[in-house]
Amino acid sequence: MIAETVCSAVAAAGLGIAAVTAFRRRFLTATRIAAYALVPLGLVMTGVVEWAADTAFSPVAWAGFGVLGGAWLLFAATRAVERRRGREGRAVATAGPHDPVAPQASAPSLGPASRPAPQTRTKPQAAPRADAADDFSDIEAILKKHGI
């Protein structure tokens, strides 16, 4: 009963503030204030406030919230364990005897990279990268892993 009275008073005060704001020719702001002021009145009229008051003072409702919290904790715990097992499973699979990269794949199959013949150019040419051979070894290892 007190909650309904407070909500009605808040709605009346809000509508009064909206009227003063509209008198000052700030119609958009006045409309927004009126909308906010009508929310508590609507909650009282629909019975939500009474339901919330009954729920707040009901031990059965609080026990229900406790059960819901416990269920949420169980879901979170199983998800955390599932993630941890997923990481450990991947770590065991990669560290196992089945190495995904073949030992022969570390050296390129075409032999050492040969330098192109020097050309006469006016602009200086960039030096070739030293790790150019390593780029293809990674690709070759992936292809061998998949049997290609």
* 75-82: long-range pairs with CB below 8 Å, 24+: none
pLDDT higher for 125 or 35? 35
Which residues are CB-neighbours of 98 under 8 A, at least 6 positions away? none
Q: What is the mean pLDDT of the chain?
A: 80
Query: CB-based burial of residue 18 (10 Å sphere; 0-12 exposed, 13-18 middle, 19+ buried)?
Result: buried
| pLDDT, tens digit (0-9, with 9 covering 90-100), for 3-41 | 889 999 999 999 999 999 999 999 999 999 999 999 999
pTM here? 0.43
| pLDDT, tens digit (0-9, with 9 covering 90-100), for 66-116 | 999 999 999 999 999 998 888 766 665 566 555 555 555 555 555 555 555
> Residue 142 has what pLDDT?
86
